[in-house]
Structure 1
């Protein structure tokens, strides 16, 4: 293995006798040795529950947990670590915001885009809000001049990067439009936190959500950034750890962020996010972004050159994911055959059925990239597609 791939032990294996080419990173990323070692070391030396014990292991576990909060805070540009709540992932974070804002959302509107993941659709519907999409053109560029915010609009909830197309939305401009109407903004950064630098102060969003497992850390751990403006929200979950004083008559809550972290969290998973941030920062975020852009552009160009391939989306800025279909070949069949060639891609609607409906298709083949992918991986993808084409001609 060459480049960054050597840091990821899972990539050293062969699949059906061929070197594994892992192109399903929008679903979840692989883990570098440093993250794996951090998780193992935590369980071997420091494991204990946090915040509630005065003994040595609890103190050390709590210290590592809170140190991770500081790392995440710095990584996303928060003003202070109290703005960072740990969650079980992006979906959990969005659901928490939906539960907390439900009284104001019920019967009103949430403005989204037409490329949203179901996780940024269903929770708002469960809060009895009506969803309204920002219009987009045939290339899936958002038509920001057509943004329609009314007195019924109580929240703007937008993905930074589409998990299907790789389209990068101009979240700063959208936030500026929303703030002109005094409407809060939630940014779904699940598909951007591993690819693009984030600064919540510059974006000026009120909420930002992301998942650890998409940024080289463990599953079951995520981030909810909440602007101090919303620091007094009613907690969406109740239980141990988030309370100040409890009686049978009344309960008072801790100050943020602990008031939003009921119960025992996935401590090791959260600590692994600190290790993944350390890993990315050691390489350098600018270096990662440049490398990924080179690989992504190469992949997109190669796919667009193919006569029997349709590539979806063509926005001003793109990263992460590319969705395509082969003429006359079902996307599921393509995925199965690519797997036999050692290339892991995703097929289906990618939890974005409204987008598929607007594109008038059932699903796509999706190749999604991470820092360990190379142009050689792209060549393997193209080679696989060509072999699939030959089987059907």
Structure 2
């Protein structure tokens, strides 16, 4: 698959950079359409992880020997890459975590005293990771209304004295709907309410600039943006520069006595214990790879493939496609009339087509849709119109078997 620049010039064949895409499944070419769950890894990311463990493996920051210094430098260089990638003012605003879920949980634990008994505003399309932590912190969730096409009705946002945070997904992991987070941040700012953006489903699809958006906090995972699993990012803007750490231990302290502990400045105060050093380095390598291709080029290509796949699905009889919002990317959810989503996914798997079935950690949205679950096809930079055609062929095979 060859990505092209805006002027039509061939840019690079990216599919060959992902070795797993050469794999056959049940004797069929692998058509990987489960990218909203996790993306595949290019050779440069795999090599960066391998090289770290082969040549540089050491703990960071606290060692004076050569390997520790090299590892520390690579880790901090990855932090700088992330900072520049999301438009942060300072690398100190970027903390490495275990993923989006961990980032949001850390914020929830840190803000729990102010959240307990108060409100957090969310949308109706949130992943459980942007619902459960706020409930565990004792907050009441207030949902922004949506129209029949599942567009979030931004003008209907109601912020009260009890509203302590707006926590919204940039893009839905189920529908692929993209929220106008800049507009939402602007409304929240008028009421002096901070905003956390869950960017797990957008960071790999489009350019993101936290200063332009105006958010106070932003969370995302490495494994959805072509890096390794078990590592993510929490951006903390100026408002939360001195957020109380949710975790304590080695590496995040200034002075410790039996009576009292003081913390280091951000971001180290949010990185207790030994971090996933190789994971952080892998995020840096993934950013290098995406920037070499160009985020605008990635977005343009993916939108073309996504729109083609969605159009073909909508043309099919007896297929319900969910959501029809102003902007969409990444994921498409659908069901076949009279056929359970799980059964459909199993049959397509035997054709080498990897899709996901179930509620996708979005049970409140499933209740809005009036279904128990869906089939979800989700796309990445290496997917093509041919992959979309294979998806349609798979659906036709499912329908034929149930006819």
State yes or no: 1:166 paired with 2:176.
Answer: yes
1:128-151 C-alpha deviation (Å, 9 max, x unpaired): 000010000111001111111100
State yes or no: 1:156 paired with 2:166.
Answer: yes
Q: Secondary structure at the match of 1:322?
A: strand
1:13-59 C-alpha deviation (Å, 9 max, x unpaired): 10011100000000000000000000000111111000000000000
User: How far apart are 1:308 and its partner, in Å?
Assistant: 1.2
**Structure-to-structure mapping, 1:82-93, within 5 angstroms:** 82-93=92-103
Q: Distance in 2 between matches of 1:144 and 1:36?
A: 41
Map of 1:322 onto structure 2: 332
Map of 1:378 onto structure 2: 388
State yes or no: 1:231 paired with 2:238.
Answer: no
Map of 1:198 onto structure 2: 208
State yes or no: 1:49 paired with 2:36.
Answer: no
User: How far apart are 1:5 and its partner, in Å?
Assistant: 1.1
Q: Distance in 2 between matches of 1:263 and 1:28?
A: 26
Structure 1 unaligned residues grouped into runs of 5+: none
Q: Secondary structure at the match of 1:314?
A: coil
User: How far apart are 1:233 and its partner, in Å?
Assistant: 1.3
Q: Secondary structure at the match of 2:311?
A: helix
State yes or no: 1:272 paired with 2:285.
Answer: no
State yes or no: 1:219 paired with 2:205.
Answer: no
User: How far apart are 1:4 and its partner, in Å?
Assistant: 1.4
Map of 2:398 onto structure 1: 388
Q: Distance in 2 between matches of 1:128 and 1:114?
A: 19
Residue of 13, 22, 25 corresponding to 2:32: 22
Q: Distance in 2 between matches of 1:306 and 1:4?
A: 30
Map of 1:302 onto structure 2: 312
4+ residue runs of structure 1 moved beyond 2 angstroms? none
Query: What's the C-alpha RMSD, in Å, of the aligned pairs?
Result: 0.7
Q: Distance in 2 between matches of 1:202 and 1:150?
A: 25
Residue of 366, 374, 378 corresponding to 1:356: 366
Map of 2:5 onto structure 1: none
Map of 1:257 onto structure 2: 267
Q: State TM-score, norm by structure 2.
A: 0.97
Map of 2:257 onto structure 1: 247
Q: Distance in 1 between matches of 2:69 and 2:137?
A: 39
What is the number of equivalent residue pairs in this alignment? 393
1:66-112 C-alpha deviation (Å, 9 max, x unpaired): 00000000000000100001000000000000001000000000000
User: How far apart are 1:284 and its partner, in Å?
Assistant: 1.0
Residue of 144, 156, 160 corresponding to 1:134: 144
User: How far apart are 1:113 and its partner, in Å?
Assistant: 0.2
Structure 2 unaligned residues grouped into runs of 5+: 3-12
Q: Distance in 2 between matches of 1:379 and 1:165?
A: 20
Map of 1:113 onto structure 2: 123
Q: Secondary structure at the match of 2:223?
A: helix
Q: Distance in 2 between matches of 1:26 and 1:352?
A: 13
1:351-389 C-alpha deviation (Å, 9 max, x unpaired): 000000011100000000000000000010000101111
1:294-350 C-alpha deviation (Å, 9 max, x unpaired): 000000000000011000000000000000000110000000000000000000000
Map of 1:100 onto structure 2: 110
User: How far apart are 1:286 and its partner, in Å?
Assistant: 1.1
Map of 2:6 onto structure 1: none
Q: Distance in 2 between matches of 1:13 and 1:163?
A: 26
Q: Distance in 2 between matches of 1:384 and 1:143?
A: 35
Map of 2:8 onto structure 1: none
User: How far apart are 1:230 and its partner, in Å?
Assistant: 1.0
Q: Distance in 1 between matches of 2:397 and 2:269?
A: 55
State yes or no: 1:335 paired with 2:331.
Answer: no
